[in-house]
Amino acid sequence: QQQVKQSPQSLIVQKGGISIINCAYENTAFDYFPWYQQFPGKGPALLIAIRPDVSEKKEGRFTISFNKSAKQFSLHIMDSQPGDSATYFCAAVSNYQLIWGAGTKLIIKP
Amino acid sequence: GAGVSQSPSNKVTEKGKDVELRCDPISGHTALYWYRQSLGQGLEFLIYFQGNSAPDKSGLPSDRFSAERTGGSVSTLTIQRTQQEDSAVYLCASSIQGLAGGNEQFFGPGTRLTVL
């Protein structure tokens, strides 16, 4: 029940395209859903986050879509750029614990 | 030095040796977390410190792992009698307070541990 399932494991997108990463959870106690971006050799950094009372949050080219009834949320990267190539992790928070997805390695082809 | 720092950045050790990994959180952050990240995997929670409260050690994989946080600031993760399966990147993060309320965790660059 504590799992967060993330897909796909890897993703290749052409420059300018839309990158979509999906996550699903089961624990309804989760109350905060962040996405983290990690470049090689670096720690993860918060990219964007959403609470379950909101269905969508947009920050620049990054959008989280949240479907509370389906217990699913997704990250959309519009106009994907080579600099977006990184590993992306979804996560869910219950109390003080972050439960992490397994990560998606995103490659943007120029 | 505004970010979380960790040392060493890389550590190579022999099986059976003890290692200590250090984390300096952002000044003023009361919450500190340790995670382990194996190659190509997500983050595995190890331990959580919040202020002067007793730490949550529920993620420590065995009694060979321990951590302490002195003076509410610097933390040390100790792995005794290291095994090859301990090889991973160990990440430290801090936040202003605990995650209830959605406070952002700031991560250090990690310590890459290799056990030969």
> With helix as H, strand as E and coil as C, how does B17-59 read?
CCEEEEEECCCCCCEEEEEEECCCCCEEEEEEEECCCCCECCC
Which residues of A sit within 8 Å Cβ distance of B? 6, 32, 34, 41-46, 49, 51, 89, 93, 95-103, 105
User: Quick check: B102 and A98 CB within 8 A?
Assistant: no
Our CA-based measurement puts residue B94 at a distance from the nearest CA of chain A, in whole angstroms, of: 12
pLDDT in tens, B55-112: 999 899 999 999 999 887 999 999 999 999 999 999 999 988 766 556 788 999 999 9
Would you place residue B10 in the very low, low, confident or very high pLDDT band (cuts 50, 70, 90)?
A: very high
Of B33, B45, B107, the CB nearest to A45: B107
**B32 close to A (CB below 8 A):** no
